[in-house]
Amino acid sequence: MSDLNQLYSEVIMEHYENSPHEKELKDATHKERGYNPLCGDNITLYLKMNGDIIEDASFTGHGCAISQASTSMMIDLIKGKDKKEALRLVQKFIDMIHKKDVNLDELGDAQVLQGVSDFPARVKCALLAWKTLQEIL
């Protein structure tokens, strides 16, 4: 069960069950829906941009533990960052999920999602929010 321990680690479950970011952002400047038609994961990402800076972000929607936790972790990571830096981190995360060698420290909590790379069927779940953010930016 060691693989599952990685997939459903405490950090992931905490983000899944009690994410502070799961809410609608009333004064959002950007709103984008991310949808995975194969499994039905469905999130809406809200950003409040001030110039190039992501001042605030949140999400709503439903999906599996992986997609929800991943979204929450991403928001932790990108809040307060500028557009360029956020995009760089998104790419880093995508590389990690595709098993490329990257420096994980920069990814904060999101680095625990590295385990997902061993579950090919779940890679899309982990990437949903990050790809949606790429779309917005």
Partner 1 sequence: MKYVDVEKIKKDFPILNVKPHGKKLIYLDNAATTQKPIEVIKAMDKYYEELNANVYRSPHYLSALSTQAYEEARERVKKFINAKREESIIFTRNTTESINFIAYTWGMKYINEGDEIILTIAEHHSNMLPWQMVAEAKKARLKYVHLDENFRLSMKDFKEKMSDKVKLVAVQHMSNVLGIINPVEEITHIAHKYGAKVLIDGAQSVPHMLIDVQKIGCDFFAFSGHKMLGPMGIGVLYIKEDLLSDVPPFLRGGEMIDEVFEDRATFAPPPLKFEAGTPNVKGACVLVSAIDYIEKIGLSNIHNHEGELLEYGLQKMKELDFVKLYGPKDAKERGGLISFNVEGVHPHDVATILDEEGIAVRSGHHCCLPLMRYLGVPATVRASFYLYNDFDDIDALVEGLKKVRKWFK
**Positions in the binding site for partner 1 (CB under 8 A):** 1, 3-4, 7-8, 13, 38-42, 62-66, 119, 121-122, 125
Minimum CB–partner distance for residue 114 and partner 1 (Å): 16
Minimum CB–partner distance for residue 14 and partner 1 (Å): 13
Nearer to partner 1, 3 or 55 (CB): 3
Minimum CB–partner distance for residue 22 and partner 1 (Å): 14
Nearer to partner 1, 127 or 136 (CB): 127
Minimum CB–partner distance for residue 70 and partner 1 (Å): 13
What single DSSP character describes residue 106?
A: G
Nearer to partner 1, 43 or 75 (CB): 43
Cβ neighbours of residue 25 closer than 8 Å, sequence gap 6 or more: 46, 47, 48, 56, 57, 58
Q: Do residues 110 and 10 lie in contact, with contact meaning Cβ atoms separated by under 8 Å?
A: no
Walk across the sheet containing 53-62 and list its strands: 30-36, 41-50, 53-62
Nearer to partner 1, 7 or 136 (CB): 7
Cβ neighbours of residue 59 closer than 8 Å, sequence gap 6 or more: 19, 21, 22, 43, 44, 45, 46, 71, 72, 75, 129
